[in-house]
C-alpha cells in the first residue's frame, strides 16, 4: 500500500476541477487504456489541489506544503456489501469518505480499480470513476462525510470475466487549507459475477410420506466477456427444506452441479413443505437461491 500524505503541486494555471475530468470518464471501459485513465484522474485530483492552494494563497504558482494533519477516517463502499453485476443492468455504487482536518474538509475523491500497481501501465486493467463531484455533509467544523456515486456497467466497465474478484478502492480527501491525503488502496471491495438458479422443480406431488422426492434445477452465472449466462459446473449447492407454515429453511444435503450446471438431488418425504436450492457465494460469484417449490405429503 502506498500512501501520499504530501506533495508539491503544479501551478494553478493548469488546474481543472474534479467535475471537469471525471465526467468524460464516467464509464471507463477497462481496456488497456485503464492505466492512462487512472493517471488522468489522479492528475485532475492534484490539479484540483493546486487550484485550491493558489486560491488560498493568492499565488498562482504557489506550492502547497501538507503538514500531515488531514486524515481519512473511514471509507464505506456499497454499504459494505459485495458489488454484484449481471449482463446488462447498471449497478449504482455509493462510496462515502469520512475525513478530518483542523481547517475543515473541502473535497473528497474515490474510484475503484482492478490490478496490481496503480503506477504501472501494465498493472491496471479495470477502473470505474465517480459520475460527479463529491457531495459533502459537513457535520462539524473539522470533519465531513462525502458521498461519491459510481455506475458499474457490465457492458463497458466489466469488459472481461477475469475482472471478477478483489478490486482496490482509491480514496482521497482535501482540506480547506489545500492539504491533500490519498491512499491508492485504502481498502478492497469484491466485484462479483451474478449467479442464478432457474427451472426449480420438486416432485412428485403429492407424494406419500417416506417416499423419495427428486429436485432438479440449473445453476448459471453471468459472463462479462460474452454478456450471457452460462452453466456453472462442479459447484456445491445446498438442497434446503422449510416445513409448511414455516419460513425457516434447513439444509438437507449438498450436491454438486454437472459440468453444464445441472442440479439433481433426492430426499425422503417426511412432511409437506417447500424445497429450494441455495448456492453460497465464492470469491468471484454471488450467492443464488432458487424459487421454492411446495410439495404436499400425505
CA atoms of 146 and 137, how far apart (whole Å): 6
Concatenated DSSP letters for the chain? --EE-------GGG---HHHHHGGGTT---STTHHHHHHHHHHHHHHHHHHHHHHHHS-TTPPP---S--EEEEEEEGGGS-EEE-SSPPEEEEEEEEEE-TT-EEEEEEEEEEES-TTSTTSEEEEE-BSS--EEE--SSSEEEEEEEEEE-TTTTS-SGGG-EEEEEEEEEEETT--EEEEEEEEEEEEEE-EEEEEEEEESSSB-TTSEEEEEEEEEEEETTTTEEEE--S-EEEEEEEETT----EEEEEEE--TT-EEEEEEE--SSEEEEEEE---SSB--EEPPPEEE-B-
Q: In angstroms, what CA-CA distances link 263 with 229, 241, 259?
A: 16, 16, 10
Give pTM, 2 decimals: 0.85
Question: Which of 27-31, 167-171, 290-294 is predicted with the least confidence, judged by mean pLDDT?
Answer: 27-31
Domain 195-295 in the same topology as domain 3-192: yes
CATH architecture of 3-192: Sandwich (2.60)
Strand-pair partners of 112: 128, 169
Q: How confident is the model at residue 271 (pLDDT cuts 50, 70, 90)?
A: very high
Whether residue 60 is predicted with pLDDT greater than 80 in this model: the reply is no
The CA distance from 94 to 189, in Å, is 12
Domain ranges of the chain: 3-192, 195-295
Q: Supply the pLDDT for residue 54.
A: 72
Backbone angles phi, psi at 253, to 5 degrees: -160, 165
pLDDT of residue 241: 98
- Give 9's pLDDT tier (boundaries 50, 70, 90): very low
What is residue 4's predicted lDDT score, i.e. its pLDDT? 44
Q: What percent of the chain has pLDDT over 90?
A: 74
* Residue 28 vs residue 153, higher pLDDT: 153
pLDDT: which is higher, 7 or 235: 235
Mean pLDDT throughout 75-80? 98
Q: What is the DSSP string of 182-247?
A: EEEEEEEEEEEE-EEEEEEEEESSSB-TTSEEEEEEEEEEEETTTTEEEE--S-EEEEEEEETT--
Cβ neighbours of residue 293 under 8 Å, at least 6 residues apart?
A: 200, 201, 202, 203, 215, 274, 275, 276
Of the candidates 17, 72, 78, 79, the residue with the CA atom closest to the CA atom of residue 50:
17
According to CATH, what is the number of the domain 195-295?
Answer: 2.60.40.730
C-alpha cell at 80: 459494505
Average of per-residue pLDDT values in the chain: 87
Q: Are the beta carbons of 278 and 252 closer than 8 angstroms?
A: no
Amino acid at each position: 500500500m502506498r500512501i501520499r500524505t504530501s506533495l508539491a503541486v503544479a501551478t494553478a494555471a493548469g488546474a481543472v476541477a474534479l467535475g471537469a475530468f471525471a465526467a468524460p470518464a464516467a464509464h471507463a471501459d477497462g481496456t488497456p487504456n485503464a492505466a492512462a485513465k487512472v493517471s488522468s484522474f489522479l492528475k485532475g485530483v492534484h490539479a484540483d489541489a493546486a487550484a485550491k492552494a493558489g486560491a488560498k494563497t493568492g499565488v498562482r504558482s504557489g506550492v502547497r506544503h501538507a503538514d500531515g494533519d488531514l486524515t481519512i477516517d473511514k471509507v464505506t463502499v456499497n454499504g459494505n456489501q459485495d458489488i454484484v453485476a449481471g449482463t446488462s443492468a447498471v449497478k449504482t455504487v455509493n462510496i462515502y469518505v469520512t475525513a478530518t482536518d483542523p481547517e475543515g474538509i473541502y473535497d473528497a475523491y474515490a474510484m475503484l480499480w482492478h490490478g496490481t500497481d496503480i503506477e504501472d501501465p501494465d498493472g491496471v486493467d479495470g477502473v470505474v470513476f465517480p459520475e460527479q463531484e463529491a457531495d459533502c455533509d459537513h457535520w462539524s467544523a473539522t470533519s465531513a462525510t462525502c458521498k461519491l456515486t459510481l455506475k458499474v456497467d457490465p457492458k463497458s466497465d466489466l469488459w472481461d470475466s477475469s475482472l471478477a474478484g478483489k478490486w482496490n478502492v482509491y480514496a482521497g480527501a482535501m482540506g480547506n487549507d489545500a492539504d491533500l491525503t490519498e491512499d491508492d488502496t485504502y481498502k478492497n471491495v469484491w466485484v462479483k459475477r451474478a449467479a442464478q438458479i432457474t427451472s426449480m422443480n420438486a416432485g412428485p406431488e403429492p407424494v406419500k410420506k417416506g417416499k423419495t422426492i427428486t429436485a432438479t434445477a440449473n445453476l448459471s452465472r453471468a459472463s462479462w466477456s460474452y454478456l450471457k449466462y452460462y452453466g456453472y459446473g462442479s459447484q456445491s449447492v445446498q438442497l434446503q427444506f422449510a416445513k409448511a407454515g414455516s419460513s425457516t429453511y434447513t439444509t438437507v444435503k449438498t450436491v454438486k452441479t454437472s459440468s453444464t450446471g445441472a442440479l439433481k438431488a433426492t430426499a425422503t418425504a417426511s412432511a409437506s413443505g417447500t424445497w429450494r436450492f441455495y448456492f453460497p457465494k465464492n470469491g468471484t460469484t454471488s450467492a443464488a437461491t432458487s424459487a421454492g417449490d411446495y410439495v404436499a405429503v400425505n
